[in-house]
Structure 1
Amino acid sequence: MRMRHLLPAIRSILLLPGGLLPLPEGGALVGVELLPPLRPGAEAERGLPLENHAVRPGLAHAEAGGGSRRLGGGLFVADEPEGRAFVDPCPALRVPGAPDAVGDLLGIRRQRDGRGRLRPDRHHHRGRVGDHRLPPRARLTMQPHRFYLPALTFEEEAIALDGSPAHQIARVLRRRPGDPIVLFGGDGAEHHCRIATIEPGRVRLVRVAVTQPETELPVPVTVAMSLLKADRLAWAVQKLTELGVARLLLFRAERTVRQGEGRAQWERLRRIAIEAAEQSGRVRVPEVIGPLAFVEALAAARAAEAALLLHERADRRLTDALPAQASSIALLIGPEGGFAPPEVAAAAAAGAMPVRLGRTILRAETAAIAATAAVVLTIEGT
């Protein structure tokens, strides 16, 4: 059976409710390609031109094992403005019956072992049409990757990247000339670019547009929190950045459990904040400041119009204490054991209002994220 006769049937499977790989709006299935087998768990990502978009002679392979099935890989979706397609691997969504249906269309025989797992037909061989080994990660994407460059300077609408950004674009993402890339430098603007050339150790981009997306909160939020264990602190920095925090102040409280505070840790936290800003679509990266003494963090937080100290025994709830039209907000979150009584008294004397989140006692990183989310929802709702 010729592949061109299979395209309508494959497309109908992809567009099932909650489909396996739903086509983006405006996209069109224009071809299928046979991909070489990848080892299970391998990361792969391809940018594939559509200059010659004749139907390809096969479908990507299918991975069977561990009771899970994944499907995808060689499907093309046209990007209307650019006439290109991108295959960006990740775990595919599962639709009951869809993998088998695609396999039946292609004449791939599926068998199950004693534990109900799919196994390849013994007559098929690795790398040939009909071998049903799929890349374990597959997804279609039309979103360009974003990169933060603090010193972002264009010369005649062009810029040359080297070092880590160039390596990531050329070697990790395997982008090609003509592919889109978005750069931002913390000034509130997004610079939409196209890859002009890829050379050893260097990628040249041409800027095609500049936008000013409204991704930052209209009211700046500062979170001052106690130092935590490295992994929990890193997780908190990542999530607080995604929520839109403008500044992160990390301090030592009386009950803080001392952790390593070397330069490498701070560089890692700042790198996590940059990556979270890139991923979440922000155009500014929050400052990560520390380590500070509690009195230093309190003074910095008190500069905000509304300073709130989270305390499990406070009388007022956080949402009730938030002013309706504050120009800036600061949250103070203590360590696992909470703030010591002298610290609570010092904060109250400085004008910070003790507030509580709910009926239960939360871990420090949970309290920071929950409180920030509540503040963000209040800001967005006003």
Structure 2
Amino acid sequence: MNLIFKNATIIDKNSPFNNKAADIVIEGGIIKQIGTNIAPIDGFDVIELDNLHISQGWFDSSVSLGEPGYEDRETLANGLDVAARNGFTDVAQQPTGDPIAEKQADIAFLVNRAAHTATALHPIGALTKGSEGKDMAELFDMKNAGAVAFGDYNKSLSDANILKIALQYVQDFDGLVIAYSQDDKIKGKGVVHEGEVSTRLGLKGIPTLAEELQIARNLYLLEYTGGKLHIPTISTARSVQLIREAKAKGLNVTCSVAVHHLIFTDDVLTDFDSRYKVSPPLRPDTERKALIEGVLDGTIDIITSDHNPLDIEHKKLEFDLAKDGTIGFESAFGALNTILPLEVIVEKFTAGKAIFGLENTAIAEGVQASFTLFNPKGDWTFAKSDILSKSKNSAFLGAALKGRAYGIYNRGKFILNK
């Protein structure tokens, strides 16, 4: 498919066309020309979209697609198509299937299933067998099969020695360890943030200390062992400060925040709506503002949708019994575009590739085309009809959004969200 994208504003700080409108010619999957007023070429389709913007392809560092084992929640084929239509050229798949991705064959299955999709899937291998936190999984074998990192999704390691050994072991092959940080003993039976809202609603609370104490421990381990540590979906002001201080000391630590923690506070819980039950829990506005500050000053490296499809049987329950998680592909860009500068959103959607050892393809002549198409203008309200995922458990239903992704060009495929 040979294409000419007309009058596209390029958002790429490394490009001489940054913040400028240009035409982009794609031939055989390669960017052949970037310029202005490029004439039509025989055999090339012309793509013209309202207020078209193009950036390097977006990367989502935390995605939980159902397959294998939970295809009723989401399949790889549909989930990756939804990702493509909402601007993501690359996603990192959490080891949340059944069986859990803990062996070479499990990673190979995921890689092979997604070999021909427009959005590239990059598996995260389980850090421990069964994600049970007892014995380390087959990390090196999984790395050879295509795993980009190792972690147990939304599960903390109570055994500090396993994390210590993992951080030491992966240095032999430049591996990345992911350490979800929440002390289970302090969390107890908590389901929401511990504070005024939890008291008023009569729900058991999770103090910020549960996250911060675990992060402090994990950073001490990193300082002792060396290696690379990624701390996902942080949610408190003190967590931001701890990571900021660790980076200043020269530790190789990165972190992410979920879109919903930048948008919502625990005030939305007044109706006991389980769509807002996530892990870690939504926090007060003081914590939300500190997270935004961490994004703006560079302490927080990645913004993730933390896309987690769940079936109605596990989500539409009493708040205490419902599973944690929300889908996020369809709303991620539009939600962030209401609170952050466009350049910051693009940076946080693309910087994660380097952290996970992936190539970040420039928008330049002579390179393989891989980019996201979007329109940053236009206010709209997110509705159920906007959900393309099989599961509908979105915390953003009814939310005011701004701008939409048009789709992607990646792996020689052009996917347009109509």
Q: Return the TM-score normalized by structure 2.
A: 0.27
Between Structure 1 and Structure 2, the one with more helix by share is 2
For CA contacts below 8 A with separation 6 or more, give which structure has more relative contact order.
2
Q: Provide TM-score, normalisation by structure 1.
A: 0.29
Higher CA-based Rg: 1
